[in-house]
Amino acid sequence: MATSSGSSATQINSGSEEALMDERKRKRMISNRESARRSRMRKQKHLDDLMTQLTQLQKQNHEIITNINFTTQHLLNVESENSVLRAQLNELTHRLQSLNEIISFLNDDHGDDDDDDDKTSIDFTQPAVADTAFLNPFHLAFLNQPIMASADNTFQY
């Protein structure tokens, strides 16, 4: 009977080892399932964060594009205005040059007397002399022309 009781003890030990192995296997399965669940949750959170970041970046991109468009339009307006101002500058420079030539001519005309002591220049702060045709505003209608500037050639370089 010793053999049968020995074999019976071996079966009990073998059965408890199997039960212990099954318990460990079950705990490992539960642990693996929990780990996989946590991994899926981390992955989902990462995906949600990336989607939020994508939305924010798309919004920033839209704002930047809007800002670029506004700035480009402003640049075009400033360039157009600059072109008009350059044309006005050229016109005013030409007019000033013409006026300076007239003043020079008038000063030379009044200085034809050989009398150097009697040389006088025209004082334009005083009313004009009536007999001088150059100072009559009706004879100098070209000096009162409006300044005309066109934006047609604004962007030609």
Phi, psi angles (nearest 5°) of residue 100: -65, -35
Choose the most confident range, by mean pLDDT, from 72-76, 130-134, 139-143.
Answer: 72-76
Q: What is the 3-class SS of the chain, one letter each residue? A: CHHHHHHHHHHHHHHHHHHHHHHHHHHHHHHHHHHHHHHHHHHHHHHHHHHHHHHHHHHHHHHHHHHHHHHHHHHHHHHHHHHHHHHHHHHHHHHHHHHHHHHHHHHHHHCCCCCCCCCCCCCCCCCCCCCCHHHCCCCCHHHHCCCCCCCCCCCCC
Q: Is it the case that residue 14 has pLDDT exceeding 50?
A: yes
Residue 15's pLDDT is what? Answer: 75
Q: Using CA atoms, how far apart are residues 122 and 104, in angstroms rounded to an integer? A: 10
Task: Give the pLDDT confidence of 21-65 residue by residue, as tens digits.
Answer: 899 999 999 999 999 999 999 999 999 999 999 999 999 999 999
Residue 108's pLDDT is what? Answer: 86
Q: Using CA atoms, how far apart are residues 70 and 76, in angstroms rounded to an integer? A: 10
Of the pLDDT bands very low, low, confident and very high (cuts 50, 70, 90), residue 76 is very high
Of the pLDDT bands very low, low, confident and very high (cuts 50, 70, 90), residue 12 is low
Closest CA relative to residue 103, chosen from 126, 117, 121: 121
Distances (CA, A) of 129 to 48, 79, 122, 123: 89, 45, 9, 10
Q: What percent of the chain has pLDDT over 90?
A: 54
Residue 66's pLDDT is what? Answer: 97
- 151 contacts: CB under 8 Å, gap ≥ 6: 80, 83, 84
Which tokens sit at 144?
């009162």
Q: What percent of the chain has pLDDT over 70?
A: 62
145: left (phi over 0), alpha (psi -120 to 50) or beta: beta
Which tokens sit at 129?
């002399």
Task: Give the pLDDT confidence of 85-139 residue by residue, as tens digits.
Answer: 999 999 999 999 999 999 999 888 765 555 555 545 555 555 555 445 555 555 5
As a whole number, mean pLDDT of residues 61-81 equals 97
